[in-house]
A and B are shown apart, each in its own frame.
Chain A
Amino acid sequence: MITLTAPEQAVFAVDHSRCIGCRACVQACSECGTHRGVSLIQLDTVDRLHTTQTVPMVCMHCENPTCAHVCPADAIKQTEDGVVQSSLQPRCIGCSNCVYACPFGIPKYIARFDQMMKCDMCYDRTSEGLKPMCASVCPSDALWYGSREEFERNRSGTLVRDWKFGNQDVRTKVALVVDEPGPIDIFIGRTSRHWLDDPFGLEEMADA
């Protein structure tokens, strides 16, 4: 049986701690009917020397999207349920303002289509209650789509949608799953403790 999720009740959650770096999301994104052959997901390898940690980046769908604000052609629109869409083809002038301005680094200027394209949360699927392609295939549920009730029933962690980029506060439709509540301040680093007493860091290579 297929569970459908009404767009207005949907939660899109990203949990980096679950990601196994498999790229199923990247590969599936390129199968999307609206941008075939081009993936709009980025999977970042954080620091492969030290860790297998990888981070999938989908559009976070800001409530007040910077990309749309900086667009000189008014080409970036938001749907009523808060999905920020790719640029409108006749309007986009390919200036890449949005590419530079997005705090999450999401929009891409794609030469083949001569326009900015970005993750639109698979609007063709989600508007019909289906999961986006990436969250459909994700083997680890690092990318997850469903109702809030379903999330609370099955998942641990806190959903956080508030971010601080220096002086800019951003609230997003897509949530990050973290251990503690409160906004994510991307300028405050985290001190690293030795992972389970240093397997193979070898006491951080004998303290360098």
Chain B
Amino acid sequence: MARIPITEEALIERYGPHLNRTPPGGWDADVEYDRIVDTHCCFCGQQCGIRLKVRDDEVIGFEPRYDFPFNEGRLCPKGVKRYLQGSHPDRLSEPLERDPSSPDGFREVTWEHALARVTSEIQRIQSEYGPDSFAVLSGVSLTNEKSYLMGKFARLGIGTANLDYNGRLCMVSAGAAGKKALGVDRAANPWSDIPLADVVFVAGANIAECHPITTSYIWRARDRGAKLIVMDPRVTPIARKADVFLGVRPGTDLAVLDAMLHVVVREGWIDSDFVAEHTVGFDEAVAAVADATPEWAEGISGVPARRIEEASRLWALSPTGILLHARGIEHSTKGVDNVLACINLGLAAGKYGKPGCGVNTITGQGNGQGGREHGHKCDQLPGNRDITNPTHRAEVASAWGCEESEIPGKGLTAQEIMNAIHAGEIKGLLSICFNPLVSLPDAGFTREALDRLEHYTAIDFFLSETAHHADLVLPGSLHEEDEGTVTTLEGRVVKINAAIPPPANARRDWEIICDIARRLGKGRYFEYTDTEQIFDELTMASAGSAADYAGITWERVVSEQGVFWPCPEEGHPGTPRLFEGGQFHHPDGKARFLPTPWRPPAEETDNDYPVWLTTGRVISQYLSGTQTRRIGPLVDQYPEPLCEMHPQLANSIGVSDGDLVRVTSRRGTMVAPAKVVETIRPDTVFIPYHWPGAQSANLLTQRALDPVSKIPEYKVSAVRVEAAGGRGDVRDDRDLTLHLEDRT
């Protein structure tokens, strides 16, 4: 029974989000700390180094970590204020069980009761409906150790095929394309290569807001005279300094990328030696863009043909070049093809395997890179192994000490799991580190699905909106309450250190998982007494795989400020730059050009829904906001979703800045204040997705998936925008400053 126990308003009243604005004891408290812990930020794949100040087992502030080479002390506002998530009034510290008769909606129960209940529900549902009727949803804010553990737990502990993770909403298009074309799923370069590039091409990445520290790398390239190409429907802060801006219509990036390859071929700007020696499939890829002229692409994308030609020339003829892409092109029903088209451009221009050369995804989530290597994706086993490959299965069975037949087959992806819950095919769910009610598309559908679960257990540190539906909530650990490793967007494995223990009766996530496994009678696979043991098993399980960690130890990770995989044996220095000497990771050492013929997005505008909607992030919030919507200074910075629109569109519907507008798609409708700016295409609106309920941009988005990666097409929806009457609570800079001062 996974309906919310009491009203949404009452749950929010009790469990938040409430805003924590001050460190423990308030601003006037003692600033002395009794220890300072070197670790990393809990938000985003850049994993900036940070030092947390601790007094009496509470995090009271931070200090820049100047010695960590990636960020050298730099932090975005989320990093600066992340310490306010600890000692938070909303922090869950006791196991909770759904109780509609309680004014709180939940009652506190003992761990014994909670663990017995979740175990019996898993067993009941599986015996009644079959092993795959109980699903697990995981997430990649978890460390490598926990990601690995969740994969092993779902397969051997519960014995379900249906395990997937929220990286499905983030990096999977890039991962699938990398594996197909290059034989490996990792950024090609360490970020120190970016300043060595003569051209930087940013395709569908709002770097300033989603990967802020990467800005400094791009500006360092600019200091050396590098040219900058930006492709985006919005003039992002980075785009302000672009030499070529490709203001692309949502969902049409592929037309521009195909036309660029067309121009590069037509003008003879191919690196023929590189293509001949290190690639296969060139002719087929070129044939697919034979008709993709810049003029044709202009008609589809709205980007002037001469800009496409200019970008092609800069990309192909600059001696070195880095292409950076992110969710802008990846959140698409042709997300994999978009990334393949970028890779084709990199291969055609010979821009791989050299200093300042490479095509890279900017991984979004905290452990988005490591989390997609260690086997908590439905199609994957540790070491990025394929769960349908008999050799790979045998290798993992040997590492796990189980029979190959004990490992379930390929399961459903995250959205497909939600579809199967909605269809009544999946009856039980255990989730950790995932808030699908906010983050999956078509939020109205997700809510209906959650209501249909027979049993739902959520492991969480705050009561997320999805956990409102839970039968059991098990209080797990915050990032700063456990130790382990994560792998950054560069492919660098770094160490997360525990600053404080979990509060009261909250427990470390891995301890909870191992306890459930023991109660399910699978304790023999989960005999860990600390997380370093899990890491050591993980590195052993990855030996010989496409993501080989075998030579990495915690000790090396700490003493070397991180180790880049592949690192196949002890003493191996790690591999900051992939593909040196044109050596790709397919057995023949060659990269694959793959054809990327144009196709339209799943939904297009029409008379009823004439405007394109695209969604994304703002700098002060992170993903579904479970943490950042509870940190007061971050909420002050951007308190609610705004609908960014061009003055031409605003004039046509008679609204001005701050007026409320109603945005409606075929899925749902929402109201938000208009933010009228000339920095967005006149045919497009943008709404950030961090909020729940009536403020959820995902009420509007659709469940259309890429056929290969199964990523939802968040970046393209058709909507109608109308004046809703009334004004929003619009603030500007001066208000924010006053607000900070008034708060005394």
When the two chains form their complex, are residues A44 and B733 in contact, meaning their CB atoms are under 8 A apart?
Answer: yes
When the two chains form their complex, are residues B235 and A139 in contact, meaning their CB atoms are under 8 A apart?
Answer: no
Interface residue total, chain A, C-beta cutoff 8 A: 55
**B741, CB-defined interface residue at 8 Å:** yes
Using Cβ atoms and an 8 Å threshold, which residues of chain A touch B220? 141, 154
Which among B209-217, B273-281, B531-539 touches the partner chain?
B209-217
Dominant secondary structure at the A interface: loop
When the two chains form their complex, are residues B679 and A51 in contact, meaning their CB atoms are under 8 A apart?
Answer: yes
**B242, CB-defined interface residue at 8 Å:** yes
When the two chains form their complex, are residues B223 and A155 in contact, meaning their CB atoms are under 8 A apart?
Answer: yes
**B251, CB-defined interface residue at 8 Å:** no
The CA of A31 and the CA of B74, in the complex, are separated in Å by: 15
Using Cβ atoms and an 8 Å threshold, which residues of chain B touch A1? 67
Using Cβ atoms and an 8 Å threshold, which residues of chain B touch A24? 74-77, 79-80, 212
Using Cβ atoms and an 8 Å threshold, which residues of chain B touch A90? none
**A172, CB-defined interface residue at 8 Å:** no
Which positions 122-176 of chain A face chain B at CB distance < 8 Å?
A: 131, 133, 136-141, 154-156
Using Cβ atoms and an 8 Å threshold, which residues of chain A touch B646? 200
Which among B79, B209, B648, B741 has the highest number of chain A CB atoms within 10 Å? Answer: B741
The CA of A136 and the CA of B63, in the complex, are separated in Å by: 10
Using Cβ atoms and an 8 Å threshold, which residues of chain B touch A108? 741
The CA of A44 and the CA of B734, in the complex, are separated in Å by: 8
**A17, CB-defined interface residue at 8 Å:** yes
When the two chains form their complex, are residues B219 and A205 in contact, meaning their CB atoms are under 8 A apart?
Answer: no
If A38-B740, A53-B240 touch, whether A202 touches B733 (CB-CB below 8 Å) is no
**A102, CB-defined interface residue at 8 Å:** no
When the two chains form their complex, are residues A137 and B80 in contact, meaning their CB atoms are under 8 A apart?
Answer: yes
**A199, CB-defined interface residue at 8 Å:** yes
If A136-B64, A201-B678 touch, whether A27 touches B212 (CB-CB below 8 Å) is no
**B681, CB-defined interface residue at 8 Å:** yes
B678 contacts which of A138, A197, A200 (Cβ < 8 Å)?
A: A200
How many inter-chain contacts with C-beta < 8 Å in the A-B complex?
A: 160
Using Cβ atoms and an 8 Å threshold, which residues of chain B touch A39? 737, 740
Which positions 42-64 of chain A face chain B at CB distance < 8 Å?
A: 42-45, 48-54
Which among B64, B67, B241, B646 has the highest number of chain A CB atoms within 10 Å? Answer: B64
When the two chains form their complex, are residues B242 and A21 in contact, meaning their CB atoms are under 8 A apart?
Answer: no
B648 contacts which of A20, A44, A111, A202 (Cβ < 8 Å)?
A: A202
**A188, CB-defined interface residue at 8 Å:** no
**B423, CB-defined interface residue at 8 Å:** no
The CA of A42 and the CA of B64, in the complex, are separated in Å by: 21
When the two chains form their complex, are residues B77 and A42 in contact, meaning their CB atoms are under 8 A apart?
Answer: no
Interface residues as binary, A85-98 with B (CB distance below 8 Å gives 1, 0 otherwise): 00000000000000
The CA of A36 and the CA of B224, in the complex, are separated in Å by: 38
When the two chains form their complex, are residues A49 and B741 in contact, meaning their CB atoms are under 8 A apart?
Answer: no
Using Cβ atoms and an 8 Å threshold, which residues of chain B touch A110? 741
CB distance from A43 to the nearest CB of B (A): 7
**B700, CB-defined interface residue at 8 Å:** no
**A23, CB-defined interface residue at 8 Å:** yes
CB distance from A188 to the nearest CB of B (A): 22
A48 contacts which of B219, B245, B247, B677 (Cβ < 8 Å)?
A: B677
CB distance from B562 to the nearest CB of A (A): 15
B208 contacts which of A2, A21, A36, A112 (Cβ < 8 Å)?
A: A21
When the two chains form their complex, are residues B215 and A20 in contact, meaning their CB atoms are under 8 A apart?
Answer: yes
Which positions 44-85 of chain B face chain A at CB distance < 8 Å?
A: 61-62, 64, 66-67, 73-77, 79-81
Interface residue total, chain B, C-beta cutoff 8 A: 65
**A189, CB-defined interface residue at 8 Å:** no
CB distance from A134 to the nearest CB of B (A): 10
Nearest A residue to B732, CB-CB: A45
Using Cβ atoms and an 8 Å threshold, which residues of chain A touch B620? 23
**A186, CB-defined interface residue at 8 Å:** no
**B676, CB-defined interface residue at 8 Å:** yes
**B16, CB-defined interface residue at 8 Å:** no
If A21-B208, A28-B75, A45-B733 touch, whether A112 touches B240 (CB-CB below 8 Å) is no
When the two chains form their complex, are residues A52 and B236 in contact, meaning their CB atoms are under 8 A apart?
Answer: yes
When the two chains form their complex, are residues B647 and A49 in contact, meaning their CB atoms are under 8 A apart?
Answer: yes
When the two chains form their complex, are residues A37 and B27 in contact, meaning their CB atoms are under 8 A apart?
Answer: yes
Which among B66, B238, B646 has the highest number of chain A CB atoms within 10 Å? Answer: B66
When the two chains form their complex, are residues A22 and B236 in contact, meaning their CB atoms are under 8 A apart?
Answer: no
Using Cβ atoms and an 8 Å threshold, which residues of chain A touch B62? 31
**A18, CB-defined interface residue at 8 Å:** yes
Using Cβ atoms and an 8 Å threshold, which residues of chain A touch B238? 20
CB distance from B491 to the nearest CB of A (A): 21
**B722, CB-defined interface residue at 8 Å:** no
B215 contacts which of A27, A136, A139, A205 (Cβ < 8 Å)?
A: A139
When the two chains form their complex, are residues A199 and B245 in contact, meaning their CB atoms are under 8 A apart?
Answer: yes
When the two chains form their complex, are residues B77 and A27 in contact, meaning their CB atoms are under 8 A apart?
Answer: yes
Using Cβ atoms and an 8 Å threshold, which residues of chain B touch A155? 223
A202 contacts which of B219, B657, B682 (Cβ < 8 Å)?
A: B682
**B443, CB-defined interface residue at 8 Å:** no
CB distance from B357 to the nearest CB of A (A): 21
Which positions 2-37 of chain A face chain B at CB distance < 8 Å?
A: 2-3, 17-24, 26-28, 30-31, 33, 36-37
Using Cβ atoms and an 8 Å threshold, which residues of chain A touch B66? 2-3, 131, 136
**B115, CB-defined interface residue at 8 Å:** no
A200 contacts which of B28, B73, B240, B680 (Cβ < 8 Å)?
A: B680
Nearest A residue to B50, CB-CB: A137
CB distance from A163 to the nearest CB of B (A): 22
If A24-B76, A37-B22 touch, whether A52 touches B240 (CB-CB below 8 Å) is yes
CB distance from B442 to the nearest CB of A (A): 29
Using Cβ atoms and an 8 Å threshold, which residues of chain B touch A200? 235, 247, 646, 678-682
The CA of A139 and the CA of B648, in the complex, are separated in Å by: 33
B212 contacts which of A3, A54, A111, A140 (Cβ < 8 Å)?
A: A140
Nearest A residue to B222, CB-CB: A156
CB distance from B83 to the nearest CB of A (A): 9
Using Cβ atoms and an 8 Å threshold, which residues of chain B touch A154? 220, 223
Nearest B residue to A138, CB-CB: B74
When the two chains form their complex, are residues A31 and B61 in contact, meaning their CB atoms are under 8 A apart?
Answer: yes
When the two chains form their complex, are residues A141 and B219 in contact, meaning their CB atoms are under 8 A apart?
Answer: yes
When the two chains form their complex, are residues A156 and B223 in contact, meaning their CB atoms are under 8 A apart?
Answer: yes
If A18-B219, A24-B75 touch, whether A205 touches B647 (CB-CB below 8 Å) is yes
15 extra A-B contacts, CB within 8 A, seeds A20-B215, A137-B80, A141-B216: A18-B219, A22-B208, A23-B637, A24-B77, A49-B677, A51-B235, A53-B240, A137-B73, A154-B220, A156-B224, A195-B235, A196-B242, A196-B245, A197-B304, A205-B648
A-B residue pairs in contact (CB < 8 Å), sample of 26: A1-B67, A2-B66, A18-B215, A19-B237, A22-B76, A24-B74, A31-B62, A33-B31, A38-B744, A42-B733, A42-B737, A48-B677, A50-B679, A51-B240, A52-B235, A52-B236, A52-B679, A137-B75, A137-B80, A141-B216, A141-B220, A154-B220, A196-B244, A200-B681, A200-B682, A201-B678
10 nearest A-B residue pairs (beta carbon): A20-B208, A37-B27, A112-B744, A139-B212, A20-B237, A36-B27, A136-B64, A140-B215, A27-B77, A27-B80
